[in-house]
Amino acid sequence: MTQQTIGKRFKRILLTGAAGGLGKVLRERIKPWADVIRLSDISDMGPAQAGEEIVQCDLADKASVLKLLEGVDAVLHFGGISVEQPFEPIMQANILGMNNLYEAAYKSGVNRIVYASSNHAVGYYPNTTLVDANMPMRPDGFYGLSKCFGELLSRYYFDRFGLETVCLRIGSSFPEPRNPRMMVTYLSYDDLVELVRCSLFTPRVDHTIAFGVSDNRALWVDNRHASHLGYRPKDSSETFADRFPATSDRPEKNDPATIYQGGPFTITGPMFE
């Protein structure tokens, strides 16, 4: 079933993090899915276009978030800090902000949230291990820890209140891979949009964890527990294989950045300063 055959199911979708890299991609692609797209970020998002509402909002501000969710049917939650930073800013944006969002979503009657989690929630698995959604979390930093909190919080809101969530453990979503690791974690923009569409339009998702990767030759993750979403990636990092010969991806002994799936997140950040 294609996006065109589905038509608009929602009156208003909220996209948080609309000024971010992936937020900008989604902003241009999700307009056919709802009558109105409400865009939110702490940063400037430019002027509203047809069918858009612009609401600048700090997710750590509980009252503002409650107002932000008024009249919203579904949420694409891509807001927050997306890199490793000290705990305090991550706590405000990714932990307190996540809590505020879910409380407001529940009070506003939202039925579905698509949450941009991260592969860094399981970044301390060796890259020789095939990881699935039922395996224990192994975060590789404060950022990964915040994504684990988000996944657990969304699970709680489903178990207690029935608020459905798809947690997307996104790998590396850029126009093209930037290094050998991204040959495994690469998620094209087209596949990102398709994964979000499947997560939003699948009739029942309960609480689902899906890995956001394209159809790459090498994989560290197993998406069988998200098969009900019907996500079928069309792209592959193999298009860029000539840029990163296989010999350049050999793990170095005792180097966490090449041994573990989290890559450089395992050796950078405030804990190592």
Q: Is 102 a catalytic residue?
A: no
Q: Which of 102, 125, 143, 157 is catalytic?
A: 143
Q: Structure tokens of 51?
A: 């069918």
Is residue 229 within 8 A of residue 201, CB to CB? The reply is no
Place of tokens 């038509």: 7
Instruction: With both helix axes pointing from N to C terminus, report the angle between 142-161 and 97-108 in degrees, rounded to the nearest 10.
Output: 20
Best CA proximity match to 118, nearest among 87, 88, 93, 81: 81
Q: Structure tokens of 150?
A: 């988000």
C-alpha to C-alpha distance for 206 and 107, rounded to whole angstroms: 18
Residue type, 86: P
Which residues, including other chains, have CB under 8 Å from residue 148's CB and lie 6 or more apart?
Answer: 121, 137, 139
Q: Which residues are catalytic?
A: 143
